[in-house]
Chain A
Amino acid sequence: MRPLTDDETKVLFEKLTKYIGRNIVHLIDRPDEPYCFRLQKDRVYYVSESIMRKATSVGRHNLISLGTCFGKFTKTGKFRMHITALPLLAQYAKYKVWVKPNGEMPFLYGNHIVKAHIGRVTEDTPEHQGVVIFNMADVPLGFGVSARSTVDMRKVDPTGIVVFHQSDNGEYLREEDALF
């Protein structure tokens, strides 16, 4: 376990801004308790200071997970978000997409979202913007990237892809081994 280097922090923040914009400030500067980012086996964990201090007594090989896993660094140095970061992303998301009940299952099985399944979209969402997916009861389901801007979504036919799938709650089952 170690803190992130400057470069790693930059890559992480660049990725996070795609979903929550400047709201990262609320992750760094929390009123309740100091939180920090820690790297363990290429995975980035968002963890409270006190828990991190306790975890220092666990050896590197024995430490499996701590706090919230945000994602992992690939071997080429890019950052990949994991579904475990969803609660925090959903809390601070700038752009949201709500899917109708008939679209929930297809998305949770790892498919892209087609226009027919969309219930509501944040206005003036740009193209290729990170978005968080909710169902109509406001339960976060996952996140993805908008394939079209809000204006262009109207022109797409019902079977056209509107949001590219990146991660969904189904991964808790499908990728159980690799997730934490």
Chain B
Amino acid sequence: MDVSGILQEHKDRFRSVQVDKLVPVDFDLGHLASFDINLLDPGKLKASQKTRDAYLKEISRDGAQLMINELFSLPTVVDDDSVYAQLPKPQTTLPREKPLPKEKAETRWEKFAKIKGIQTRKHSRMVFDEESGEYKPRFGYKSAKNEEMNQWAIPVPDNADPYEDQYAKLRTEKKERVAKNDRRRQRNAEEAMATERGMKPHEMRKSQLQRALVMSKGSTASLGKFDTKLTGEPKIKGVKRKFDPLVGSADKEKSKNMDILNRVNKGEAKASLLNVRKAQRALGTNKQVQAEMNTKGKKQTKRSRK
């Protein structure tokens, strides 16, 4: 039996995988992209939409075909259910999506360390604790320093008050250290914010303080009217109401009123484009009518069945 005819027919239904291009096409297989720098036919581009679209489609089909041909020449990995091509590394560098993160403002310590040339050394996290004879974290949870508070006995120093609670003392000291660190952190954040706004930190602190002063002075029942004045207290100027002159030019007033009227009318026109409630009701009545029609129809059919 000769099936060559059928095979030929089947083959003719598909386009050839061979594509000829005047200038060879570039590939960036890492991005699954092909770049075709062949000249486009200006006559076809200026032709009707249909022919132009068909032409462009044809070109992109050729590009895709060439790229897929190229993909088949790549080394492959065979998995349980399929064969994968190994893509090379992308050649084209794509622009970054997000903007670069802003540089963090330096803290006071960082500035100081820079001037003094202090460099941070890498410490190991664990330190050998000679007392217990084992490694303990340098700081934080279960560190030797923190364990001090949990000892069953603490020796009272020589000159200390014998009735003083040494445990409480350690605890308050620790709390104070934490609070101090927090204050420093806050100060750094404030200074960073000030420099970001282009102000000097102490200037910003001053203006904030003045604002707070004004607020607190106005927080009495008499709005601060009877409070004693502080020396160097800032004078607050309120906004003065300003009205048009009572007797001005009539034409000017008229044109101003006309302007406002036009604005009002515009708003009205926008609002009255679609009367929502009316439209809803119209829809509702239509549905009602339809529903009535339907029920009538059903009744009639029932009757006819009887």
Binds A, one of B118-126, B167-175, B253-261: B253-261
Asked whether B278 is an interface residue with its Cβ less than 8 Å from the other chain, the reply is yes
Query: Known contacts being A5-B243, A13-B264, A52-B247, is A29 close to B258, with CB within 8 Å?
Result: yes
Determine the chain B residues whose CB is within 8 A of the CB of A42 once the complex forms: none
Cβ-defined contact, A126 with B250, below 8 A? no
A17 to B272 alpha-carbon distance, docked (Å): 12
- Tally of chain B residues near chain A (CB < 8 A): 24
Residues of A close to B247: CB separation below 8 A: 52-53, 56
Contacts of B268 in A (CB 8 A): 17
Given known A3-B243, A34-B250, A53-B247, contact A9–B257 (CB-CB < 8 A): yes
> Which residue on chain B has the smallest CB distance to residue A49?
B250
A37 to B268, CA, bound (A): 22
Which of the residues A2, A13, A29 comes within 8 Å of B246, measured between beta carbons? A2
Q: Verify B253–A3 contact, CB threshold 8 A.
A: yes
Say yes or no: B258 contacts A17, CB within 8 Å: no
Would you give the 0/1 interface string for A109-146, flagging 1 where the beta carbon is closer than 8 Å to chain B? 00000000000000000110000000000000000000
- In the complex, the answer to whether A149 meets B258 with C-beta atoms within 8 Å is no
Q: Which of A20-28, A67-75, A96-104 is near enough to bind chain B?
A: A20-28
> Roughly how many angstroms separate A28 CA and B265 CA in the complex, as a whole number?
14
* CA A127 to CA B264, docked complex, whole Å: 20
Contacts of A85 in B (CB 8 A): none
- Separation of A124 and B251 alpha carbons in the complex (Å): 37
Question: What residues of chain B lie closer than 8 Å to A14, measured between beta carbons?
Answer: 264, 267
Q: Which residues of B contact A24 (CB under 8 A)?
A: 261
The answer on a CB contact under 8 Å between A25 and B261 is yes
Residue contact B260 to A13, C-beta cutoff 8 Å: yes
Asked if A78 is at the interface (CB within 8 A of a chain B CB), the reply is no
Contact partner, A34, options B245, B254, B256, B258, Cβ 8 Å:
B254
A10 contacts B by Cβ under 8 Å = yes
Q: Confirm or deny: A1 has a beta carbon within 8 angstroms of a beta carbon on chain B.
A: yes
What residues on A are CB-neighbors of B256 within 8 Å?
6, 9
Residues on B with C-beta less than 8 A from A37 are 257
In the bound complex, CA of A88 to CA of B283 (Å): 38
**Chain A residues touching B, range:** 20 to 34
Q: Is A36 an interface residue (CB 8 A)?
A: yes
0 or 1 for each of A33-55: is its CB under 8 Å from B? (1 = yes): 01011100000000001001100
Interface status of B219 (Cβ within 8 A of chain A): no
Docked Cα-Cα span, A56 to B277, in Å, equals: 48
Chain A 143-163 interface 0/1 with B at a Cβ cutoff of 8 Å (1 = within)? 000000100100000000000
Contacts of A5 in B (CB 8 A): 243-244
A36–B251 CA distance with the chains assembled, in angstroms: 10
Nearest B residue (CB) for A2: B243
Expressed in whole angstroms, the minimum distance between the Cβ of A147 and any Cβ of chain B is: 13
B175 to chain A, nearest CB (A): 52
Identity of the chain B residue whose Cβ is nearest the Cβ of A1 in the assembled complex: B246
Judge whether B278 and A127 touch: CB under 8 Å.
Answer: yes
Q: Which residues of A contact B277 (CB under 8 A)?
A: 127
B246 lies within 8 A of A3 (CB):
yes
With both chains docked as a complex, state the minimum distance between the C-beta of B33 and any C-beta of chain A, in angstroms: 58
- For the complex, is B8 an interface residue (Cβ under 8 Å from A)? no
In the complex, B187 has a CB within 8 A of chain A: no
A residues at B contact (CB < 8 Å): 1-3, 5-6, 9-10, 13-14, 17, 22, 24-25, 28-29, 34, 36-38, 49, 52-53, 56, 126-127, 149, 152
For this complex, 20 residue pairs linking A to B, each with C-beta atoms less than 8 Å apart, are A2-B243, A2-B246, A3-B244, A3-B253, A5-B244, A6-B260, A9-B257, A10-B260, A10-B263, A28-B254, A28-B257, A28-B261, A29-B254, A34-B250, A34-B251, A36-B250, A36-B253, A53-B247, A56-B247, A149-B278
| 20 more CB-based (< 8 A) A-B contacts, given A9-B260, A29-B254, A126-B275 | A2-B243, A3-B246, A3-B253, A9-B256, A10-B260, A13-B261, A14-B264, A14-B267, A17-B265, A17-B268, A24-B261, A25-B258, A28-B257, A34-B251, A36-B250, A36-B253, A38-B246, A127-B277, A127-B278, A152-B281
